[in-house]
């Protein structure tokens, strides 16, 4: 870590160089603290530019320090010292000024940002609140409404928006250092005509009325679904708006320290680091990915169209192959529907949607694949159908084209049997809707080359997905745990726990839906057909309660009923007499369970399956399993995933 000071005549330039992201560890805080003293004492310095080396401005407090006791100088004191410095400091922002980084920038008298930069206060995404005046200075700088959005949502804003909100004073392009020095010089000439702006802590603030705060609280509580930090951040912001600066700072600090030690913050830190570790598995070594410039998807159904959309969103051209002209048109219609939806929701402009569709070549002729770098198969989940596709791909594609299957249950080794150059074959398991869901399970076979595996990981990066490597077993990581989860939920039903109580308990745990509601939405027949397939192949698959319902025609919402009943055109789940009658012989009466006990049983079953998956080497790390559950199956992020929760519970029991 270095903090260096150099000079452009009367302007001092303080450069922070603390790779990778200039996080504010103790040594950096101390060095900045000392720099203020040095420059205050230097009578030849009239203004100071604070700039960073490397890819970004200060990206926040050093998250790795959060498990340890805070060591001075504390960040709020450093921000305060910057604000009281005898000379005006100007933050020169490139990359991201986040969390503590933006708080340091708010300690400066001015903020100049490069046009590509972002600023924000993402602390709630780590289960904490800004702890160095973010909740107290931001509303004084940008107004209460903007501060509430920025702090409780945690989403950074781009430079242009930051300027319009008053978060930065100028947006520049080109040479940031030169621009910031020029800005500093300009401010030095101004005091003759116009005084420097007040330090942010001294600026006035007006609180909206109590009804406004109540509305914000309700809206945030609805979004947060059990996550505490956004609501605690709102408390801090309200205190900032209603109480004197010092009192609000004390309240923010106490809230920050309380949350920093919380289970939710520990869980969110765990996921923060897990997400950064997942794309870089050590065993890839120096295997170099192949460059992917052209792609193809075989199959234009829901999954295939979603995968094609994900590729197009990443700027890759796509060849979409279907078996005949009608199917080609259906595939294109599926793709169009995805982009139309994105335009309606304001995610894409008409022009962007059109550009994506213009990058698609669709047809039934495999000759279109002759020069494609990557082909992803997403046809019907049946071995013979998939094998026929790969037999054809083996003949039509370049020998070095990467060939991937999107199977979710079948054995990729069997799909690839007989394929020439099987080293370029890999499983890439997307989750539906594939253009939205972040998870990508990457499933190598014993013949997959390191280069092909590395290409899978590089593709995930290109698509903005979280890659997790999975070994071969029934359901890989995610669907294998899902099976266990559903089986445990059925066990509870057999023990007399009401279906609705189980779903409510899982919603209470932070899931958007319980296991039975989710099956009704997706359709019970999908898993049923898999079980029937396995039974037909001679496997001993015990009858499930879901089988009984499907055989009675209850496949979920699409048939007007599954575990629940649904009125026509209505998605509201109603307890079902018909289901109760069908299952009556399989349900015993037993003692009830609290919602907490139900959730603990189900998440515990997931963790038990996860441990088996780890022991068998199907997953590389426990944290990968947590990522699969969070990004593929709606496990609440702030719980850290089933493996983290189980580990945390075990360690809390042992103290």
Hey, which residues does 185 pair with through a beta bridge? none
Measured from the CB of residue 64, what is the shortest distance to ligand 3H9 in angstroms? 5
> Strand 564-565 and strand 574-575: pairing?
antiparallel
Q: Is 116 a catalytic residue?
A: no
Which burial class, exposed, middle or buried, applies to 446 when counting CB atoms under 10 A from its CB (0-12, 13-18, 19+)?
exposed
Query: Which CA distances in Å does 3 have to 16, 30, 107?
Result: 5, 10, 17
Q: Which 226-285 residues touch ligand 3H9, going by CB under 6 A?
A: 273, 276
Binding to ligand 3H9 by CB under 6 A, coded x per residue (else -) over 34-63, reads ---------------------xx--xxxxx
Binding window for ligand 3H9 (CB under 6 A); candidates: 26-34, 37-45, 97-105, 558-566: 97-105
Among 16, 75, 369, 463, binds ligand 3H9 (CB under 6 A): 75
131 binds ligand 3H9 (CB under 6 A): yes
Here the tokens at position 328 are 């080609």
Angle, CA 271 vertex, CA 268 and CA 272 arms, to 5°: 85
Q: Contact, 24 vs 98, CB < 8 A?
A: no
Query: Which region among 17-25, 194-202, 584-592, 619-627 touches ligand 3H9 (by CB under 6 A)?
Result: 17-25
79 binds ligand 3H9 per the rule CB under 6 A: no
**Which of the following is catalytic: 133, 201, 408, 576?**
408
Dihedral sign, Cα of residue 413, residue 414, residue 420, residue 424: negative
- Rounded to a whole number of angstroms, the minimum distance from the CB of residue 424 to ligand 3H9 is 28
283 among known catalytic residues: no
Among 66, 216, 80, 91, residue whose Cα is nearest residue 148: 216
Q: Does 100 bind ligand 3H9 (CB under 6 A)?
A: yes
Out of 88, 107, 127, 130, which residue is the one contacting ligand 3H9 (CB under 6 A)? 130
Backbone angles phi, psi at 196, to 5 degrees: -60, 150
| 132 counts as binding ligand 3H9 under rule CB under 6 A | yes
Candidate list 20, 367, 418, 617; residue touching ligand 3H9; CB under 6 A: 20
Of 96 and 449, nearer to ligand 3H9 (C-beta) is: 96
Shortest distance (Å) from residue 25 CB to ligand 3H9:
8
Helix 622-633, helix 478-494: angle, nearest 10 = 70
Q: Is 479 a catalytic residue?
A: yes
What residue spans of 537-592 are helical by DSSP H?
545-551, 577-583
Residue range at the interface with ligand 3H9 (CB under 6 A); choices 96-104, 343-351, 445-453, 504-512: 96-104
Q: Which of 270, 138, 160 is nearest to 205 (CA)?
A: 138
| Known active-site residue 18 | no
Name the CA radius of gyration of the chain, rounded.
28
Instruction: Confirm or reject binding of residue 153 to ligand 3H9 (CB under 6 A).
Output: no
Q: Check if the beta carbon of residue 320 is closer than 8 Å to that of residue 308.
A: yes
Q: Binding to ligand 3H9 by residue 69, rule CB under 6 A?
A: no
| Candidate list 103, 441, 488, 609, residue with the active-site label | 441
412 binds ligand 3H9 (CB under 6 A): no
- CA-CA distance, 424 to 412, in Å (whole number)? 13
Contact positions toward ligand 3H9, by CB under 6 A?
20-21, 23, 55-56, 59-64, 75, 96, 98-100, 103, 122-123, 126, 130-132, 134, 273, 276
Would you please indicate which residues are annotated as catalytic (active-site) residues?
Answer: 408, 429, 441, 479
């Amino acid at each position: 870590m270095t903090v260096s000071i150099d000079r452009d005549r009367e302007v001092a330039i303080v450069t922070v160089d603390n790779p990778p992201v200039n996080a504010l560890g103790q040594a950096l805080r101390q060095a900045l603290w000392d720099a203020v003293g040095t420059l205050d004492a230097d009578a030849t310095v009239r203004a100071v530019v604070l700039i960073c080396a490397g890819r970004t401005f200060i990206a926040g407090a050093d998250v790795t320090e959060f498990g340890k006791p805070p060591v001075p100088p504390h960040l709020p004191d450093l921000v305060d010292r910057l604000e009281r410095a005898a000379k005006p400091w100007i933050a020169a922002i490139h990359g991201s000024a986040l969390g503590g980084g933006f708080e340091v920038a708010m300690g400066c008298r001015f903020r100049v940002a490069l046009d590509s930069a972002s600023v924000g206060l993402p602390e709630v995404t780590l289960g904490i609140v800004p702890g160095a005046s973010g909740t107290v200075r931001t509303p004084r700088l940008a107004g209460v409404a903007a501060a509430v959005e920025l702090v409780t949502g945690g989403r950074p804003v781009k430079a242009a928006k930051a300027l319009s909100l008053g978060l930065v004073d100028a947006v520049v392009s080109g040479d940031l250092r030169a621009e910031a020095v020029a800005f500093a010089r300009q401010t030095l000439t101004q005091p003759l005509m116009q005084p420097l702006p007040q330090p942010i802590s001294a600026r006035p603030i007006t609180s909206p009325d109590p009804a406004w705060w109540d509305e914000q609280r309700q809206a945030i509580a609805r979004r947060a679904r059990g996550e505490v930090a956004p609501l605690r951040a709102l408390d801090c912001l309200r205190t900032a708006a209603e109480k004197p600066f010092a009192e609000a700072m004390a309240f923010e600090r106490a809230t920050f320290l309380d949350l920093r030690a919380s289970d939710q913050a520990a869980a969110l830190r765990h996921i923060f680091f897990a997400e950064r570790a997942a794309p870089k598995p050590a065993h890839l070594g120096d295997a170099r990915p192949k460059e992917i410039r052209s792609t193809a998807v075989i199959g234009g159904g829901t999954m295939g169209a979603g995968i094609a959309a994900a590729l197009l969103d990443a700027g890759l051209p796509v060849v979409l192959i279907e078996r005949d002209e009608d199917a080609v048109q259906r595939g294109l219609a599926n793709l169009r529907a995805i982009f139309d939806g994105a335009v309606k929701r304001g995610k894409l402009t008409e022009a962007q949607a059109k550009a994506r569709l213009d990058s698609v070549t669709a047809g039934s002729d495999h000759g279109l694949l002759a020069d494609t770098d990557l082909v992803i198969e997403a046809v019907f989940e049946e071995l013979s159908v998939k094998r026929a596709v790969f037999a054809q791909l083996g003949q039509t594609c370049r020998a070095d084209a990467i060939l991937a299957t999107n199977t979710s249950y079948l054995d990729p080794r069997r799909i690839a049997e007989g394929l020439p150059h099987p080293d370029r074959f890999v499983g890439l398991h997307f989750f539906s809707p594939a253009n939205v869901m972040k998870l990508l399970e990457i499933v190598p076979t014993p013949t997959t080359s390191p280069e092909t595996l590395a290409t899978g990981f590089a593709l995930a990066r290109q698509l903005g997905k979280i890659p997790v490597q999975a070994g071969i077993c029934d359901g890989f990581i995610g669907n294998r745990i899902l099976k266990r989860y559903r089986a445990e939920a059925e066990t509870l039903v057999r023990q007399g726990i009401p279906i609705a109580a189980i779903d409510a308990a899982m919603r209470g745990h932070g899931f958007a839906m319980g296991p039975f509601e989710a099956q009704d939405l997706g359709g019970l027949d999908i898993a049923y057909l898999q079980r029937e397939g396995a039974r037909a192949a001679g496997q001993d698959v015990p009858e499930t309660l879901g089988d009984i319902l499907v055989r009675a025609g209850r496949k979920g919402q699409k048939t007007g009923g599954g575990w629940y009943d649904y009125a026509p055109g209505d998605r509201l789940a109603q307890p079902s007499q018909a289901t109760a009658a069908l299952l009556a012989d399989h349900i015993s009466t037993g003692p009830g369970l609290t919602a907490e006990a139900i959730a603990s049983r189900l998440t515990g079953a997931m963790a038990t399956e996860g441990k088996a998956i780890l022991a068998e080497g199907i997953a590389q790390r426990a944290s990968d399993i947590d990522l699969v559950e969070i990004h593929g199956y709606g496990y609440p992020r702030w719980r850290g995933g089933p493996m983290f929760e189980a580990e945390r519970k075990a360690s809390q029991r042992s103290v």
